[in-house]
Amino acid sequence: MNAPTIDKPAGAQLGQWLIGLALGVLLWVAAYSQLTAFADALVGAAGLSRQTHLGQAVHFFFYDTPKVLLLLTGIVFVMGVIQTFFSPERTRALLSGKREGIGNLLAAGLGIVTPFCSCSAVPLFIGFLSAGVPLGVTFSFLISAPMVNEIALALLFGLFGWKVAGLYMAMGLLVAIVAGLVIGKLKMERHLEEWVRNLLAGQVAQTTAEQLSWLERLQAGGAHVREIVGKVWPYVLAGIALGAAIHGYVAEDFMASFMGSDVWWAVPAAVLLGVPMYTNAAGIIPVVEALIGKGAALGTVLAFMMSVIALSAPEMIILRKALKPTLIATFAGVVALGILCVGYVFNWLL
């Protein structure tokens, strides 16, 4: 006769969770702080040089892949725990209806202080959705985080002065807020993938949200990670692989050849050219400086920059796991229209 299974007391399980969580945080911080060294070591072990196109592409892949996966895991765990305190119904009530505009403004403002590239912002975007934040509000963050963060503003200020940096910030926030409002008004939640809609439906009822123990909250965070990261990681790898390939083979001379043209189609062409590419604000600013130095128009180049960091093809690949093609196309179309307006405004004013 088998002996009965004796479960560990809740206090012992909680202690194990806290110890594991503390070790996990230390390992997370250590890993995140060594991303550049890790990528450098792998590039060196492969006998490549970062001065070559292939070396740049390989370095980019081995730097961004662990970075995005670390962010995805950490953010999704935290949002999973937070979700146990605030039911989706309550969160939606706080940020919907007449407060939706304020929610878009706050989400876009949050993007300024979160220096994420577009793919790095996706985990928090999914986390917001899972916590019940309205779709349009989450899109305001997704647009603002890569496009209008402090790194982009500081580099633009250093290169072009406060007027350009200030106008860029104002126009970028306007694009993020208006695009989020438009997407929210279109009520496109039905174009979320089923597993995301299930998250929106809520996994913790409001009547029990405040009765859970800390052990149950931590377990909910762990389950959140297994569910979301387990679904998204192949798309993360595919998106970053594409971004790395393009990042390593950027042809500045080709882009500058038409960005200085005084024709109406220069701005749309720059936006279309930027979409397949992928880098963050710090990575694209040197390209912007080089293009300006070769005679490209400022508005056209900034439109190109915005499309690279807010509408990258790798970002779309990762988002595809959570969003249906119709919603992705609407998102890209609304944001592209806003970016076109920014390009024309800059070219007209400056």
Distance CA 296, CA 303 (A): 12
- Spatial contact of 281 and 155, defined as CB atoms under 8 Å apart: yes
In this prediction, residue 202 carries a pLDDT of: 55
- Give the least confident one: 112-126, 202-216, 295-309: 202-216
Q: What share of the chain in percent tops pLDDT 90?
A: 6
- DSSP secondary structure string for all residues of 134-202: -HHHHHHHHHHHHHS-HHHHHHHHHHH-HHHHHHHHHHHHHHHHHHHHHHHHTT-GGGB-HHHHHHHH-
In this prediction, residue 326 carries a pLDDT of: 92
Cβ-based neighbour number of residue 113 at 10 Å: 9
Q: Residue 234: how many CA atoms within 13 Å on its side-chain side? A: 4
Confidence check: pLDDT of 6 > 50: no
The structural domains of the chain, with segments of one domain joined by +, span 50-349
In this prediction, residue 74 carries a pLDDT of: 83
Degrees (nearest 5) of the Cα angle 190, 195, 198?
75
pLDDT tens across 20-75, in order? 889 989 999 999 899 889 999 998 898 888 888 888 888 888 887 888 788 778 87
**Average pLDDT rounded to a whole number, residues 331-344:** 89
pLDDT tens across 117-138, in order? 666 667 677 777 766 678 888 8
Q: How confident is the model at residue 203 (pLDDT cuts 50, 70, 90)?
A: very low
Q: What share of the chain in percent tops pLDDT 70?
A: 73
For residue 35, CA distances in Å to 122, 277, 347 come to 19, 22, 38
Q: At what angle do helices 35-45 and 53-83 cross, to 10 degrees?
A: 150
For residue 69, CA distances in Å to 43, 113, 122 come to 20, 20, 11
Closest by CA to 179, choosing from 7, 24, 334, 55, is 334
In this prediction, residue 205 carries a pLDDT of: 43
Contacts of residue 176, defined as CB under 8 A and 6 or more positions apart, other chains included, come to 104, 107, 108, 111, 140, 141, 143, 144, 147, 148
